[in-house]
């Protein structure tokens, strides 16, 4: 199978290429050559900027002109509808399938629990906006999906991942927790331990994407995991098992964290409380599972992520998570608060139904 990958040298893209190469496929990469330019020397590299610089790609496309064709294109870096439209229009006669990596952030109602692929997507008052911000990211991705389907009707595979984790993750949103537990000592964790989370190992997602292309699948799929309810408490317990160190967890209340200006998701990754975000970690993924999506053990993801982080020299300067000094400051404040300010939330129970230990007896 001949695959064209737009991007292909960073995180998900590089794992898609690795998976495809293992399975014996022929790869062409099109990118600007700025990120890991020397990776995959065995494949064809086309250089160009998809925003107005598609000349190198245009020179090789087109069945009617006798140009180069591919079985599928995997678009890992489409964020602006106009730019995606240009790529899809250029390739509509050169590929059998267009795979767009979208996001579950497309959904308009982030509070909808158990949302499947039929949930309404977000819209923009001005669809010509091209600034990618927290507020426009999801609706812009939804418009990108529409551009691809318009150019290649019935020949598109739209994949909407949730939080992608594992080796090579530049965001450190998952990496923080294995890394922090590996440092040992008293680890600040946000209540409740039973808070549900969803994530997918980049290697599982990449392998599934390649299999989907091989079988010619089309349609729209949420892509996250696992295939059961996973809690933050379970994740941190798994980190402790993998590390086998001396880390102890201190579960800290949401009101305390809010009072002290701790930012969900960035300061404490994976944790984003509030009913308006209730759907963020509860998406329905049965369609992807029915289409063959599988999940490796969580311990495998933790160990591989930690090995990668150590290999790149991660020493606390992570892109997400509390700094060492900030965490220590918060733990001191938590321990010194008056006992009367320590009511337990009715939700603050462990994954086995037990309440977390107090700060005086960290778990």
pLDDT tens string 321-360: 999 999 999 999 999 998 645 544 433 333 333 222 222 2
Q: Give yes or no: residues 114 and 17 share one domain.
A: yes
What CATH number did the domain enclosing 269 receive? Answer: 3.90.25.10
What CATH number did the domain enclosing 70 receive? Answer: 3.40.50.720
Q: How far apart are CA 356 and CA 363, in angstroms?
A: 7
Asked if residue 83 lies in contact with residue 50, where contact means CB atoms within 8 angstroms, the answer is: yes
Please give the pLDDT value at position 315.
Answer: 64
Asked if residue 28 lies in contact with residue 5, where contact means CB atoms within 8 angstroms, the answer is: yes
Please give the pLDDT value at position 348.
Answer: 36
Q: Give yes or no: residues 170 and 156 share one domain.
A: no
Q: Give yes or no: residues 63 and 190 share one domain.
A: no
Q: How far apart are CA 212 and CA 125, in angstroms?
A: 34
Tell me whether residue 67 is in a domain: yes
What's the number of domains the chain is made of? 2
Q: Give yes or no: residues 92 and 58 share one domain.
A: yes
Please give the pLDDT value at position 62.
Answer: 66
Secondary structure (3-state) at 133: coil
pLDDT tens string 226-252: 999 999 999 999 999 999 999 999 999
Q: What is the domain range of residue 325?
A: 166-198+228-274+297-363
The model's pTM is: 0.91
Secondary structure (3-state) at 25: coil
Please state the rounded mean pLDDT for residues 292-311: 96
Tell me whether residue 185 is in a domain: yes
> Using CB atoms within 10 A of its CB, is residue 264 exposed (0-12), middle (13-18) or buried (19+)?
middle
> Using CB atoms within 10 A of its CB, is residue 215 exposed (0-12), middle (13-18) or buried (19+)?
exposed
Q: Give yes or no: residues 106 and 174 share one domain.
A: no
Tell me whether residue 292 is in a domain: no
């Amino acid at each position: 199978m001949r695959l064209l990958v737009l991007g292909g040298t960073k995180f998900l893209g590089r794992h898609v290429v690795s998976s495809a190469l293992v399975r014996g496929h022929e790869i062409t990469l099109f990118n600007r050559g700025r990120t890991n330019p020397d990776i995959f020397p065995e494949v064809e590299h086309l250089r160009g900027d998809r925003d107005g610089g598609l000349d190198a790609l245009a020179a090789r496309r087109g069945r009617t002109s006798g140009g180069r064709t591919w079985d599928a294109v995997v678009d890992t870096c489409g964020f602006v509808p106009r730019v995606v439209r240009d790529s899809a229009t250029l390739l509509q006669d050169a590929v059998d399938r267009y795979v767009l990596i979208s996001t579950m952030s497309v959904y308009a109602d982030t509070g909808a629990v158990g949302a499947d692929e039929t949930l309404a997507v977000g819209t923009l008052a001005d669809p010509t906006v091209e600034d990618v911000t927290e507020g426009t990211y999801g609706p812009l991705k939804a418009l990108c999906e529409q551009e691809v389907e318009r150019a290649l009707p019935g020949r598109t595979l739209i994949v909407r991942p949730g939080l992608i984790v594992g080796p090579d993750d530049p965001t450190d949103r998952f990496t923080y927790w294995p890394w922090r537990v590996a440092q040992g000592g008293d680890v600040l964790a946000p209540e409740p331990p039973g808070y549900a989370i969803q994530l997918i190992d980049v290697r599982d997602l990449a392998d599934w994407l390649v299999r989907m292309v091989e079988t010619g699948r089309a349609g729209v799929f949420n892509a996250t995991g696992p295939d059961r309810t996973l809690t933050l408490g379970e994740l941190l317990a798994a980190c402790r098992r993998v590390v086998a160190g001396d880390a102890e967890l201190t579960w800290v209340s949401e009101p305390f964290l809010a009072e002290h200006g701790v930012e969900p998701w960035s300061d404490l990754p994976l944790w984003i409380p509030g009913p308006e975000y209730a759907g963020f970690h509860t998406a329905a993924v049965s369609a992807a599972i029915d289409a063959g999506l599988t999940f490796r053990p969580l311990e495998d993801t933790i160990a591989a992520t930690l090995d990668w982080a150590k290999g790149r020299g991660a020493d606390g300067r992570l892109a997400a998570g509390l700094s060492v000094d900030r965490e220590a400051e918060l733990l001191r404040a938590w321990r010194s608060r008056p006992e009367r300010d320590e009511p337990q939330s009715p939700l603050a129970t462990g994954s086995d139904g037990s309440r977390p230990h107090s700060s005086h007896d960290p778990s």
